[in-house]
Amino acid sequence: MGLKIWLDDKLVDQADAKVSVFDHGLLYGDGVFEGIRVYGGKIFEHAAHLRRLYDSAKVIRLTVPMDLPAMQAAVEQTAAANQISDGYIRLIITRGVGDLGINPFVCKKASVIIIADAIQLYPEALYEKGLKVVSASTVRNHPMAIPPQVKSLNYLNNILAKIESVDAGAEEAILFNHEGYVAEAAGDNVFIVKNGILYAPPIQAGSLDGVTRRVVIELARREGIEVIEQNLTRFDLYTADEFFMTGTAAEVIGVVQIDGRVIGDGHPGPITRTLRQQFFAYARSR
């Protein structure tokens, strides 16, 4: 039995969930999206995800064809129709049907797609063991080219970095910006711990303003852990006491090796483990 997919203004069977080959989301990656988790039947940080979606759309001058309350209801209806208790929602707004030119304003109406399904990014063993990552030669998009806060359908920058990690036999790749500072991983935000202090690259360095990132920073402060957002270098990553990543799908996962350098004692550290436990409890209590 297939999924029920929200397409434009209603739920349809998975087999009938189709978009035009002239949709500019397909032709040019012109659109925005969100990945949202569901825990215990509750949509996690729903309002924060929708606010980011509408902000991203505004930046690229994409008119979302539903107001925010209607979008929230559509997401909830899609999750319920697929009986998603613990899973993942992909919410997509494409520019809509146009022609073969790049002018977005020939697209008369944006298209809304909502997919709700199960997800598991990393096997449980890797949360205990930790990840190996590599530095990507692919540079993070310049902020004056594409603002990093826009979660757009054009993910080639991240995909090229991901290819590098796959080629290297690693689970993730770390992107650096045009100035040589840490931006983010191909699919996640980056944190390190040094001398008991939690450090994160600032959003301005080229990282997505991750919803999970925000929650983890708040949870760390509740635990009495000092959090500093500042530019980080490759040296900082190599010499960190702990290193972990956050993301909607990944949640909180430790990194134990980068470019062949072992982090700490080669196991996810105590602050990493604490924040993973705190996030797990927070997400499932909402």
Give the mean model confidence (pLDDT) for residues 216-223.
Answer: 98
Q: What is the CATH number of domain 124-285?
A: 3.20.10.10
Q: What is the pLDDT of residues 133-159, one digit of tens each?
A: 999 999 999 989 989 899 999 999 999
pLDDT band at 1 (very low <50, low <70, confident <90, very high): low
Q: What is the pLDDT of residues 35-75, one digit of tens each?
A: 999 999 999 999 999 999 999 999 999 999 999 999 999 99
Task: Exactly one of 4, 132, 151, 162 is catalytic; name it.
Answer: 151
| 162: annotated active-site residue | no
Q: Where are the domains of the chain?
A: 4-117, 124-285
Specify the DSSP element, H or E, that contains 49.
helix 46-59
The alpha carbon dihedral of 44, 47, 50, 52 has a sign of negative
pLDDT at position 280 over 80: yes
Give the mean model confidence (pLDDT) for residues 92-113.
Answer: 98
d(CA 77, CA 46): 13
CB 87 within 8 A of CB 15: no
CA angle, corner 34, sides to 33 and 38, nearest 5? 150
CB 125 within 8 A of CB 51: no
Q: Which of 248, 243, 249 is nearest to 273 (CA)?
A: 243
3-state SS class at 80 = helix
Length of the chain: 286
Reported pTM:
0.93
Q: Do 124-285 and 4-117 have the same topology in CATH?
A: no
CATH, domain 4-117, list 3.30.1300.10, 3.40.50.970, 3.30.470.10, 2.40.160.10: 3.30.470.10
pLDDT band at 231 (very low <50, low <70, confident <90, very high): very high
Residue 119: what pLDDT?
86
3-state SS class at 258 = strand
pLDDT at position 120 over 90: no
pLDDT band at 227 (very low <50, low <70, confident <90, very high): very high
Residue 197 is encoded by which pair of tokens? Answer: 């202090």
The DSSP annotation for 134-185 comes to EEEEEEPPPTTTS-TT--BS--HHHHHHHHHHHHTT-SEEEEE-TTS-EEEE
pLDDT at position 121 over 80: no
